[in-house]
Structure 1
Amino acid sequence: MKIKNQSSIPSKYWLAIIAVICVILLGIDQVTDGGGPLRFIGNYTVVPMQKGISYVGRWLSDLSDNFETLQDMKKQNETLQSKVDELTIDNTRLRQDEYELERLRDLYKLDQNYSDYEKIGAHVIANNGTNWFSDFTIDKGSADGIKVNCNVLAGSGLVGLVTEVGPHYARVRSIIDNSSNVSAMILSTSDTCIVRGDLKLMDDGRLRFEKLANNDNDIKVGEQVVTSYVSDRFVQGLFIGYISEINVDSNNLTRSGYITPAVDFSKIQEVLVLTKTKEDMTNGADDESASDTAKGE
């Protein structure tokens, strides 16, 4: 008995299916302008995927480039900042050198103004802790020829006296200290007075003078005040300052007032120290006088 080959789908249906597929493919070909069905499918599947992959690739590339650019900028910024720091330091040093040169020029002028006296330069190494240099320490001492009562100069004139000496240091009490009294005189008339230290007055940039004779000598604001010839500790003729105010006292016998000092006592860095005291100079003059007398005899 023969068994017939039976197909699940009759041949006529296969023919219909193939015909439909052909029609669809022809339609696709028409729609895609002859690009073919595979290209049509690719346009809707592979191409968008390629675009996405290309976009992601460009984004990652841009990100990498931006990161490298950022790193380069950071390195450049660090290099520039380093150069700025170096230039700032160099500029600071130049300004310090300029200020120091200016101070040394002033000190040189002061040295020339008192060229008749033996002097030694010194740096201030310590202050008494106040805003004013009323008591300070310098870096030269007895090993350099400095002794107690040596006169100290700075700026344009007198600073004070050496009060204590070690081998390599000395303490200076300035004329603005409350305990300081200086025998002074008016340069134009030689009238004597007393200049007293007063730290409270220094807040106004002034020193007080008193016991100036109320005589016929006309003394005005702006007159120069120097150390007097009768002082037992200060060398004669050291510039103290200018008269800024003068008044007749109530006793009508004396005058008093204020002086603008020649030295800025808020910032003293270098000083000149006269290595011979007033006593040394007086004794030296006496010895010369005695020697001349002996020669004459």
Structure 2
Amino acid sequence: MKTRNQKGLESKYWLLIIVAACILCMAATFFAGVKSGPVRVIADYTVVPMQKGINVIGTWVNGVADNFVTLKSVQKENKTLKEQNANLKMENNQLQQKAVELERFYDLYKMDQNTSDYPKVGARVIANDGSNWFTSFTIDKGSADGIREDMNVLSGNGLVGIVTKVNAHSSTVRSIIDEVNISSMIMTTFDQCIVSGDLKLINNGVVKFEQLANNENEVAVGEQIVTSNISSKYLQGLLIGYVSEVNVDSNNLTRSGYIIPAVDFKKLQEVLVITTTKQDLIDNGNQTQSDSSEK
């Protein structure tokens, strides 16, 4: 019981000391306004330094608080800018993709204009044979869209291949680089030759042509080679590629060499299918001749 009273007494003393200190500080602050005298001297050595220290601490605390608020604001703004930057990057990528797609469509449009004699339907490539080259691939149009076997297939730059299999809503196309032989001709001289697909050569970006007559007609690098009028399955005048090399064969009667395909067989996405076949033209021609003879 005595110990408890002692502790209570000590607490009262401490309270009185604190109150006295506060009163003393208030009085010292009041007398600090005195311009002269011993109280002023005492204030200069006690209260004034304490006030300066308190002001410095207060200023520092306010600065820290302001910096904290500014930091929070900057962090929030930085997060917003990062989100905006990510959105802009996404929009930019989409715009670039659309620009490339528009360029491909424009190439298809030009090809459509250059082969306006033939009816065509557009299609998208939806699968290939799993290799790096589109030697055989699937398009999203089939018999329901009027697609039939042996129809020629174009890209925006030239001849791609021929339809080999048709389903209701899809078809398989075999490209000209897949070990096929095409009756062709030089665009300017109409000299006949054979273009041969070769999966090994296409890795070097070329295909071979051969059996070109070694005559007085010069064949320059860059010359266009197109499908010929005597091709059994390919319509006449479809661009295959450009001559990159010409050599005279050992028999001295023929020439052979290499051409760079007009089509990039690694990046096929959209194609045009000519909705008539070489056999259709032959049949129509025969029918026309028959009608004329009957008259």
Give yes or no for TM over 0.5. Answer: yes
Listed as ranges, the matches of 1:3-152 within 5 Å are 35-152=36-153
Measured after TM superposition, the shift of residue 273 of structure 1 is 0.4
Q: Please tell me whether residue 274 in structure 1 is matched to residue 260 in structure 2.
A: no
Greater shift in the superposed pair: 115-124 or 159-168: 159-168
Structure 2: distance between partners of 1:134 and 1:91: 33
Aligned residue for 2:230, secondary structure, equals coil
Answer whether contact 2:125 2:138 (CA < 8 A) is retained: yes
Q: Which residue of 2 aligns with 1:220?
A: 220
Q: Which residue of 1 aligns with 2:155?
A: 154
Instruction: Give the partner amino acid of 1:243.
Output: V
Greater shift in the superposed pair: 156-165 or 37-46: 37-46
Taking a change above 3 Å as real, the CA distance of residues 34 and 280 of structure 1, as seen in their structure-2 partners, is closer
Structure 1: distance between partners of 2:39 and 2:247: 117
How many aligned positions are there?
262
Structure 1: distance between partners of 2:69 and 2:139: 58
Listed as ranges, the matches of 1:141-290 within 5 Å are 141-177=142-178, 179-290=179-290
Instruction: Give the partner amino acid of 1:108.
Output: Y
Measured after TM superposition, the shift of residue 134 of structure 1 is 1.9
Q: Percent identity?
A: 57
Answer whether contact 2:177 2:198 (CA < 8 A) is retained: yes
Structure 1, unaligned stretches of length 5 or more? Answer: 1-32
Structure 1, residues 96-150: CA drift from partner, whole Å, max 9, x if none?
2222222111111100111011100111122333332222221111111111211
Cα-Cα RMSD: 1.9
Measured after TM superposition, the shift of residue 34 of structure 1 is 7.0
Structure 2: distance between partners of 1:106 and 1:241: 16
Aligned residue for 1:48, secondary structure, equals helix
Measured after TM superposition, the shift of residue 65 of structure 1 is 0.4
Q: Which residue of 2 aligns with 1:29?
A: none
Instruction: Give the partner amino acid of 1:90.
Output: E
Which one has the largest radius of gyration? 1
Aligned residue for 1:116, secondary structure, equals coil
Structure 1: distance between partners of 2:137 and 2:47: 90
Show structure 1 runs of 4+ deviating over 6 A: none
Q: TM-score of the superposition, structure 2-length normalised?
A: 0.82
Structure 2, unaligned stretches of length 5 or more? Answer: 1-33
Structure 1, residues 247-274: CA drift from partner, whole Å, max 9, x if none?
1111223211011222222222211101
Aligned residue for 1:203, secondary structure, equals helix
Structure 1, residues 211-241: CA drift from partner, whole Å, max 9, x if none?
2222343333332211112211111111111
Answer whether contact 1:221 1:245 (CA < 8 A) is retained: yes
Q: TM-score of the superposition, structure 1-length normalised?
A: 0.82
Instruction: Give the partner amino acid of 2:202.
Output: M
Answer whether contact 2:235 2:277 (CA < 8 A) is retained: yes
